[in-house]
Homo-oligomer: A and B are copies of this chain.
Amino acid sequence: MVTITPVLLCGGSGTRLWPLSRKSYPKQFVPLVGEETLFQASARRLHGTGLGAGGLGFAAPVVLTNAEFRFIVAEQLGQAGIDPGAVLIEPEGRNTAAPILAAALHLAATDPEAVMLVAPSDHVVPDAPAFHAAIERGLGPVSEGRLVTFGITPDRAETGYGYLEIAAPVADGAPQDLVRFVEKPDAARAEAMFGSGAFLWNAGIFMARAADMAAAFRHHAPDLCAPVEAALDRARADLGFLRLDPAAWAAAPDISVDYAVMEKAGNLSVVPFAAAWSDLGGWDAVWRESGPDAHGVVATDGATAIDCRDTLLRSDSDRLEIVGIGLDNIMAIATGDAVLVADMRRAQDVKLAVAALKAKQAPQATSFPKVHRPWGWFESLVIGGRFQVKRILVHPGAALSLQSHHHRSEHWIVVEGTARVTVDDAVTLVTENQSVYIPLGAVHRMENPGKLPMVLIEVQTGAYVGEDDIIRYEDVYARG
């Protein structure tokens, strides 16, 4: 029986799945395929004991993310019923090498023999038992001190992935020595590789003992070691998160683990994985993984396809209906505040949409109307000349900061649950269908003392209703 520690990388914020994936809330935290978010599904896939043929088990995961996403990570793991072993906060994005080394050093500090499995948190792997079996096949090389990577058996001549060349096609999924890494190919080269059977997709999933992983970094990427070690040594515990030291981290090279270590390592084994897999690298991949019908059509609940072929129609708002007529090879994705309509073959160009919206300073480029905070979330329902209406949800036990505003008064009407409201010196309980008025300038706080989520409607009136009109006096989440 072997216990493996998942290392989940989820600091990324891709734009290729805009408008569902945005900088403020990227694709790994969104239910793109199925009910759970990709991050939750990734964590669940690497969770539990007594798995596989040999009693494979997983320890609590180590999660690497950034400061902005830390409460989303905590909330989504909580919903999935999974306790993280550690959540390491990257002060800024440094590609994959530095965070993987940080995880290896963090684990090696308590158990150098700990087996770590590094996985992105935005992949789709429908057959978890098949994946567990592949992990088990990799444990032999790991126990010999080798690094293991997983190579996906291609089902098409894909030009969007890098490849791993192995000595010969294998049927039994046994570990192979790596011949070499191959960059993303052109179409002809992809066809040739697909035909040969000796090339697997590089999925960016790695397994090794923590000490062996650290040793590989020391050998092949020594310039990463000092900054990452220092960032860990000076890390600061904060509300259950471990914040890596920003100054030290800033000195770490911004490089992928493939370039820094794996392409140079002589001791890399490849475990073939022949089941379905996707990195959901674009809406075309989401379309493929969502089970197109006989006409190639994927349409969600709020979407209706009429005489369409090879088309993705997706509504991600329960107040929005989308209808397609006579479309061929089109993808149309609608959220409450943005709609993308594109030729399916231009799936990799969705970043152009984000860039165009940034240029016109549209908030849709990077953020959602629903804004997530440590205490819950809020969304603006309507903004007028001198007013704004928000819906606010506060988690059980959570509290907003003690604050005041210069330019607005607020009416709060509780519509679900119970709020404890502080206005200057008075503290009152406000329950469903009760309201409270916060005069301009009053020092106030909203808390949820209950066991259920509390929802209130906030009506702001005043000459200025921007988010930056806020003076914070106390904040349990240590925000400015």
Contact = CB atoms under 8 A, between A and B. Distances in A.
Interface string A424-445: 0000000011010100000000
Nearest to A456: B459
A457 interface: yes
Interface stretch (A119-127, A129-137, A326-334): A326-334
A319 to B, nearest CB: 6
A415 to B, nearest CB: 4
A352 B316 CA distance: 22
B341 A313 contact: yes
A350 B326 CA distance: 10
Interface stretch (A37-45, A243-251, A386-394): A386-394
A416 B321 contact: no
A324 interface: yes
Contacts of A353: 304, 306, 323, 325
B319 A337 contact: yes
Contacts of A323: 338-342, 353, 356-357
A219 interface: no
A250 B77 CA distance: 65
Contacts of A435: 411, 435, 437, 459
A334 B325 contact: no
Interface string A332-371: 1010111111110110011011001100101010000100
Contact of A346 (B325, B364, B457): B325
A353 B299 CA distance: 14
Contact of A326 (B342, B369, B389): B342
B387 A415 contact: yes
A320 B337 contact: yes
**Majority DSSP secondary structure for residues of A touching B:** strand
A413 interface: yes
A320 B322 CA distance: 14
B334 A346 contact: no
Interface residues of A, number: 60
Contact of A338 (B321, B336, B350, B391): B321
B386 A432 contact: yes
A385 interface: yes
Contact of A343 (B326, B338, B437): B326
A381 interface: yes
Contacts of A362: 321
A294 interface: no
A314 to B, nearest CB: 10
A428 to B, nearest CB: 16
A239 interface: no
Contacts of A386: 415-416, 432
Given A307-B349, A385-B416, 18 more contacts: A304-B357, A304-B360, A306-B353, A306-B356, A319-B337, A322-B340, A322-B341, A323-B353, A325-B341, A325-B343, A327-B342, A330-B341, A384-B455, A387-B415, A409-B433, A413-B459, A415-B459, A435-B437
19 contacts: A306-B352, A306-B353, A319-B369, A321-B338, A323-B339, A323-B357, A325-B342, A325-B343, A325-B346, A325-B352, A332-B332, A334-B334, A381-B381, A384-B415, A384-B416, A385-B416, A409-B433, A435-B435, A459-B459
Identify the 5 closest CB pairs spanning chains A and B, nearest first.
A326-B343, A387-B415, A325-B342, A326-B346, A323-B353
